[in-house]
Amino acid sequence: MAEERLPLGVAARLSRYLQILTQAKKTGKHTISSKTLSEYSNVNPTQIRRDLSSFGKFGKRGVGYNVDYLIARIKEILHTSGSHNLALMGSGNLGTAIASSKIFADHGFNIAALFDADPAKIGQEVGSLRVQPVTEVAETVRERGIIVGVLAVPPHAAQEAANVLVSAGVKIIFNYTEALVDAPPGITVHSMSPAGELLYALYFYLT
């Protein structure tokens, strides 16, 4: 029998806990309390303990959670253990910043390819990547086992870039533009909007 999918809210909160734990580990923390997780995630400590206790006993009263162990367990629960290759569309300011960041690598995502439609940018080096033409997306996605694509293109080019990724076989798209992107059934599009995140934070400040 197929494993039951996590409720959307639980999956979102676990992903947030994982992000916080990963950063905590980088600062040298070995344990973390539900209170500290709450302060960084805006999730009630009781909810955090309830989320985690649903999958086993992780922490000790008065001591907190072991950071390394909790990272490993949440990755198992979310099925995100191991490394995953992704393709980045766009080598402008945003694309260059993403390609140069360690945020994806911290969570097991490897930026395996960088593409751009501007002939003037083809062949340029961005970190360890060479900017490739969009005509090479399909072949590269297939050769490198890429199932995740990241849109860092101008809004007017977002839909076309998404179409290219979908045609190449990408199943998950992270949209860093403000454009609304349509995708066929079976393709997950997740929009990463700074404005949306700010509105979310503002809601908690005002209520």
The total domain count for the chain is 2
What is the C-alpha separation between 132 and 126, in angstroms, rounded?
11
In the numeric block, the tokens 């947030």 are attached to 16
Asked whether residue 17 is domain-assigned, the answer is yes
d(CA 203, CA 180): 23
Task: Give me the helix-helix angle, 34-41 and 45-53, nearest 10°.
Answer: 110
Contact 61, 67 (CB under 8 A): no
Integer Rg of the chain from CA: 19
* Domain final position from 48, 76, 104: 76
H/E run at residue 132:
strand 129-133
One digit per residue, the tens of pLDDT, for the chain of length 207 reads 345 678 888 888 888 898 899 889 889 999 999 999 999 888 899 999 888 887 877 766 667 889 998 988 888 888 777 778 999 999 999 999 989 888 777 777 899 999 999 999 999 999 889 999 999 999 999 999 999 999 999 999 999 999 999 999 999 999 999 899 999 999 999 887 666 666 666 666 666
Q: What's the token pair of residue 157? A: 């080019």
Domain boundary among 76, 93, 118: 76
Evaluate whether residue 145 is within a structural domain: yes
